[in-house]
Amino acid sequence: MTLVQISQRQGHVPVTVFHLQDRVNLGNFKELEQTAKDAYDNGMRDLVIDLSRSESLTSIGIRAIVIIHKLLSTEKAGHLKLAGATPSVREMLEIAGITQFIDIHDSADEAIASFQ
């Protein structure tokens, strides 16, 4: 099973959405990171990672999100937002300090609408 399903949405700006199909773990984190690098190389600058199908989050999943955030932060125009996190995943992101740097929204639609 592929970890990431990709869609393109048009909000105020074009937004790429990564719909995670499972939790990110040691066996698949490289797929997420490589997918982000490939999309970035092809022009993606605004990204929403939809976590609604991820019931939990591992430390390697948090690491992958940080790597993607750094990738998109190399240019002032790049942005990453998270969406659809369960309460336990949201709590993990808060404990890890991710919410200080990356916005979390209740839904992908809300995250997409927040890009300017």
Instruction: Tell me, letter by letter, the H, E, C secondary structure of 49-97.
Output: EECCCCCCCCHHHHHHHHHHHHHHHCCCCCEEEEECCCHHHHHHHHHCC
Global pTM exceeds 0.85: yes
- Could you list the residue range(s) of the whole structural domain that residue 86 is in? 13-114
Is residue 6 domain-resident? Answer: no
Return d(Cα 13, Cα 115) in angstroms, integer. Answer: 7
Residue 8 lies in a domain: no
Residues facing 7 on adjacent strands: 17
Average pLDDT of the residues of the chain: 92
Whether the pLDDT of residue 75 is over 80: the answer is no
Q: What is the pLDDT of residue 116?
A: 83
Q: How many domains does the chain have?
A: 1
Q: How many CB atoms lie within 10 A of CB 76?
A: 6
CATH number for the domain spanning 62: value is: 3.30.750.24
Any domain includes 93:
yes
Cα 38 versus chain centre, distance: 14
For 40-69, the pLDDT digits (tens) are: 999 999 999 999 999 888 999 999 999 999
